[in-house]
Copies of this chain bind each other. A is one copy, B any other.
Amino acid sequence: MKTLKTLEPLSNRLLEIQRINSAASVLSWDQETYMPAGGGTARAEQIATLQGIAHQQLVSSDTERLLGAWLDLQTGLALEQDGELWDESSNALLREVWRDYSRARKLPSDFVIRLSRECSLAQQVWAEAKTQNTFKSFLPNLRTVLSLKREEAQHLGFEGTPYNALLDVYEPGSTVAGLRPLFAQLKTGLVPLLRRIQQSSVQIDDTFLYHAYDQARQLEFGRLVLIAMGYDFEKGRMDLSAHPFTTSFHPTDVRVTTRVYEHDLPSCLFSCIHEGGHGLYDQGLDPTHYGTPLGESVSLGMHESQSRLWENCVGRSRAFWRFFYPILQATFHHQLRAVEMEQFYAVINRVKPSFIRVEADELTYNLHIMLRFEIEQDLIEGKTNPEELPGIWNHKMKEYLGIVPSLDGEGVLQDVHWSTGAFGYFPTYTLGNLYAVQFYEQAKQEIPHIEDEIAAGQLMVLRRWLGQKIHRWGRMFTPDHLAQRVTGVSLSPEPFLRYIERKYGELYRLDKA
């Protein structure tokens, strides 16, 4: 049996490339956290240079030689050799390296550099346009990025729609044809449920949210929850940024960011738990495989499943707050002493159509995704003129959520994704929501006392389970294979729909009419 040992020359080569990519990630993290405003243009070029070099190295004759010794570079199939078989890890490594290599090979290095540079610049213009609520000032950059992404799809090749080429980058194997029925089933389940909730007579008193909450204490509490989750601050840190995110430079250096507002307690709280879920995944990857696909997360949908599992299944559960609410009350004694846990629970689970995706409840969140999925597909297919985007956005908001934003900043400009060229990324959020529930239901089956543990503040039990089942495997299995290994079945919207019906049915006292 041939093992990873045989592949060491290839792994060492990949390690070099990963170090360059990690360096680019440090530069991006700095750009979002500490970089002075004036440094943006130079930074865009520095990141583009590193990404160009990483790309060149991945498609270089060196890599080709090392990979081509074992695989047919055109098909990715193993060459017939001495008859000795590869072990499972080696097979997975070769499969995933070939995936990366063959994708990279289709993109010219100068295209990669141009895309990186234009996206960094567009992101900076977008940030300003968002603040100013002026879609028009972002439009030229959006056009540029869009045309580059369409060019990218052409380079990559696709079946059906060019959008498929982009989807596959974030969620290997996902296609419009696969997602559409999933989303349709969700819509069929969620839209009537939303109507029933909106007709419910249950009133949720959220006046306590309007108090001021000291920012330093909010951050302290967020940090406390992260530590309880098992996030290791010796191998990570938490900073502030306009948009919370998680990034990793190595399993020993995984960073989360959050934001904090005096008059928005849930924002910091849930962004900490959410990013903490991402952080645990990255800290849980096997450091001995750093640099190879076996040391990388398997997909964005799977990554999001970890953040959403912690944020929603755990962080919006009664079990969690049974332990943490008394601490939160002690932290904000003045504001919360008269607020019962049950009221707090209701407020953090309240369903209410709103403009901002990241602040949406668990139900309407997916409607936000569906409208973006439709819009970006049309943009990539050239069916929509980017100029018309604000109108289309508002129309679809009305259709899906029944509300229309009056400002671009809380409408079409709210998300960073399109400015960074991340078309095809949004669907992974809904995949994450679905995976999250499917995994959590499985965890409850395998560890029947898990909610008692959580209610006792013992979050490490769940963390270990996720580490064993998901984190440590890296890209050993495809997303679908991993889902099957963990839960016995492929991804399905049903566990999520059951969970949502149960949770909100109880909260809003809905009759099963």
Contact among B22, B27, B45 for A42, CB-based, below 8 A:
B22
CB distance from A288 to the nearest CB of B (A): 12
- Output the nearest chain B residue to A48 by Cβ-Cβ distance: B19
- Output the nearest chain B residue to A237 by Cβ-Cβ distance: B36
In residues 18-72 of chain A, which contact B (Cβ within 8 Å)?
A: 19-20, 22-24, 26-27, 30, 34-39, 41-43, 45-46, 49-50, 53
Q: A234: CB under 8 A from chain B?
A: yes
Contact among B27, B39, B232 for A23, CB-based, below 8 A:
B27
Please tell me if the beta carbons of A249 and B46 are within 8 angstroms of each other in the complex: yes
Chain B residues whose C-beta falls within 8 Å of the C-beta of A250 in the assembled complex = 39, 42-43, 46
Please tell me if the beta carbons of B22 and A46 are within 8 angstroms of each other in the complex: yes
Please tell me if the beta carbons of A53 and B20 are within 8 angstroms of each other in the complex: yes
Q: A210: CB under 8 A from chain B?
A: no
- Output the nearest chain B residue to A41 by Cβ-Cβ distance: B252
Q: A253: CB under 8 A from chain B?
A: yes
Determine how many copies of this chain the complex contains.
Answer: 2
Cα A27 to Cα B34 with chains together (Å): 13
Please tell me if the beta carbons of B252 and A42 are within 8 angstroms of each other in the complex: yes
Contact among B19, B34, B50, B249 for A39, CB-based, below 8 A:
B249
Chain B residues whose C-beta falls within 8 Å of the C-beta of A76 in the assembled complex = none
Decide yes or no: A36 and B249 within 8 Å by CB, A19-B46, A23-B23 being known contacts.
no
* A contact set with B: CB distance below 8 Å: 16, 19-20, 22-24, 26-27, 30, 34-39, 41-43, 45-46, 49-50, 53, 232-237, 239, 249-250, 252-253, 290
Chain B residues whose C-beta falls within 8 Å of the C-beta of A232 in the assembled complex = 38
Give the residue among A23, A24, A234, A235 with the most B Cβ atoms within 10 A.
A23
Known: A38-B252, A41-B252. 15 other contacts (CB 8 A): A23-B50, A26-B26, A26-B27, A30-B30, A34-B239, A35-B253, A36-B234, A36-B235, A36-B237, A37-B234, A38-B253, A39-B250, A39-B253, A42-B253, A53-B53
Can you list 21 A-B contacts (CB < 8 A)? A16-B49, A19-B50, A20-B49, A23-B24, A23-B27, A26-B26, A26-B27, A30-B30, A34-B34, A34-B239, A36-B233, A38-B234, A38-B235, A38-B252, A39-B249, A39-B253, A42-B250, A43-B249, A43-B250, A43-B253, A46-B250
Cα A27 to Cα B234 with chains together (Å): 18
Chain B residues whose C-beta falls within 8 Å of the C-beta of A235 in the assembled complex = 36, 38-39
Chain B residues whose C-beta falls within 8 Å of the C-beta of A290 in the assembled complex = 42
CB distance from A124 to the nearest CB of B (A): 13
- Output the nearest chain B residue to A20 by Cβ-Cβ distance: B49
Chain B residues whose C-beta falls within 8 Å of the C-beta of A49 in the assembled complex = 16, 19-20, 23
Chain B residues whose C-beta falls within 8 Å of the C-beta of A38 in the assembled complex = 232, 234-235, 252-253
CB distance from A465 to the nearest CB of B (A): 23
- Output the nearest chain B residue to A21 by Cβ-Cβ distance: B46
CB distance from A18 to the nearest CB of B (A): 9
Cα A38 to Cα B248 with chains together (Å): 13
Cα A385 to Cα B42 with chains together (Å): 46
Chain B residues whose C-beta falls within 8 Å of the C-beta of A253 in the assembled complex = 35-36, 38-39, 42-43
- Output the nearest chain B residue to A290 by Cβ-Cβ distance: B42
Cα A184 to Cα B50 with chains together (Å): 48
- Output the nearest chain B residue to A37 by Cβ-Cβ distance: B234
Chain B residues whose C-beta falls within 8 Å of the C-beta of A27 in the assembled complex = 23, 26
Cα A453 to Cα B486 with chains together (Å): 73
Chain B residues whose C-beta falls within 8 Å of the C-beta of A46 in the assembled complex = 19, 22-23, 26, 249-250
Chain B residues whose C-beta falls within 8 Å of the C-beta of A16 in the assembled complex = 49
Chain B residues whose C-beta falls within 8 Å of the C-beta of A233 in the assembled complex = 36
- Output the nearest chain B residue to A39 by Cβ-Cβ distance: B253
Cα A26 to Cα B237 with chains together (Å): 17
Cα A232 to Cα B38 with chains together (Å): 9
Cα A31 to Cα B239 with chains together (Å): 15
Ranked 8 nearest A-B pairs via Cβ? A39-B253, A42-B250, A38-B235, A19-B49, A38-B252, A38-B234, A19-B46, A39-B252
Please tell me if the beta carbons of A249 and B19 are within 8 angstroms of each other in the complex: no
Cα A22 to Cα B239 with chains together (Å): 23
Cα A342 to Cα B253 with chains together (Å): 50
Cα A38 to Cα B232 with chains together (Å): 9
Chain B residues whose C-beta falls within 8 Å of the C-beta of A236 in the assembled complex = 36
